[in-house]
């Protein structure tokens, strides 16, 4: 089970509040699309101002954005232009990416960083699972895990009843004993 978006949307998340609010404000699962606009590879993201611009952009505009982000990435990492070109060529050769995808791949780290680190959700992208459209809270990780365990226990009990078998021995005591902060988990 992939639960990255659910754990991203918690009280302890290091993601800036302005960006988290954009996730919480996404009420329509249809606003979470699979797009190739950022780097040519399919990714699920919440539609926002930048993604909308990337979706509408033609090849030359995307190339310009990719080159601009590549230069910003170069400054951020200290890589030379030659290093970036070598990396792009290797990606194209080793990962079976097109030249265009390899050049556009410079977009990903810089554009994601705008939203997820710098707290500018309109100027970055919001990677997301489809579930973001139905999540409307930011519980603590502890609350979230307890809710997941409780729901799993309820589902197991319901399945046991439907199967006509004896109740499955579950309960919060087993969880609390094993997963109390400070206890080692086997």
Whole-number pLDDT of residue 47: 97
**Greater confidence, 27 or 75?**
27
Residue-range domain boundaries for the chain: 4-134, 141-178
Whole-number pLDDT of residue 105: 74
Whole-number pLDDT of residue 186: 47
For 64-89, what is the mean pLDDT?
A: 74
For residues 74 and 28, what is the distance between their CA atoms, to the nearest angstrom? 37
Whole-number pLDDT of residue 165: 82
Q: What is the pLDDT of residues 106-130, one digit of tens each?
A: 678 888 999 999 999 999 999 999 9
Q: What is the pLDDT of residues 18-71, one digit of tens each?
A: 999 999 999 999 999 999 888 888 999 999 999 999 999 887 887 787 777 777
Whose tokens are 């046991």? That residue is 160
For 136-150, what is the mean pLDDT?
A: 96
Q: Is pLDDT of 146 > 50?
A: yes
Which of 1-10, 78-87, 108-117 is predicted least confidently?
A: 78-87
Residues 6+ apart with CB under 8 A from 80: 74
CA atoms in the 13 A half-sphere facing the CB of 54: 26
Residues 6+ apart with CB under 8 A from 123: 49, 50, 114, 115
Whole-number pLDDT of residue 59: 78
- Dihedral (Cα; 9, 14, 18, 21), 10-degree rounding: 10
Whole-number pLDDT of residue 183: 56
Whole-number pLDDT of residue 67: 76
CA angle 150, 30, 107 (to 5 degrees): 100
């Amino acid at each position: 089970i992939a639960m990255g978006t659910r754990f991203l949307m918690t009280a302890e998340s290091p993601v800036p509040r302005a960006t988290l609010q954009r996730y919480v404000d996404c009420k329509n699962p249809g606003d979470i699309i699979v797009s190739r606009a950022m780097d040519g590879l399919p990714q699920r993201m919440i539609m926002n101002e930048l993604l909308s611009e990337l979706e509408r952009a033609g090849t030359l505009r995307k190339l310009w954005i990719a080159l601009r982000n590549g230069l910003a990435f170069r400054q951020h990492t200290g890589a030379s232009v030659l290093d970036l070109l070598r990396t792009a060529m290797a990606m194209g050769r080793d990962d079976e990416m097109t030249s265009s995808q390899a050049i556009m791949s410079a977009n990903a780290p810089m554009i994601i960083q705008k939203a997820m680190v710098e707290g500018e959700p309109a100027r970055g992208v919001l990677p997301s699972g489809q579930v973001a459209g139905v999540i409307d809270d930011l519980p603590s990780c502890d609350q979230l895990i307890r809710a997941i365990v409780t729901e799993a226990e309820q589902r197991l009990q319901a399945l046991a009843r439907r199967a006509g078998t004896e109740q499955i021995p579950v309960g919060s005591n087993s969880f609390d004993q094993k997963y109390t902060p400070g206890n080692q988990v086997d």
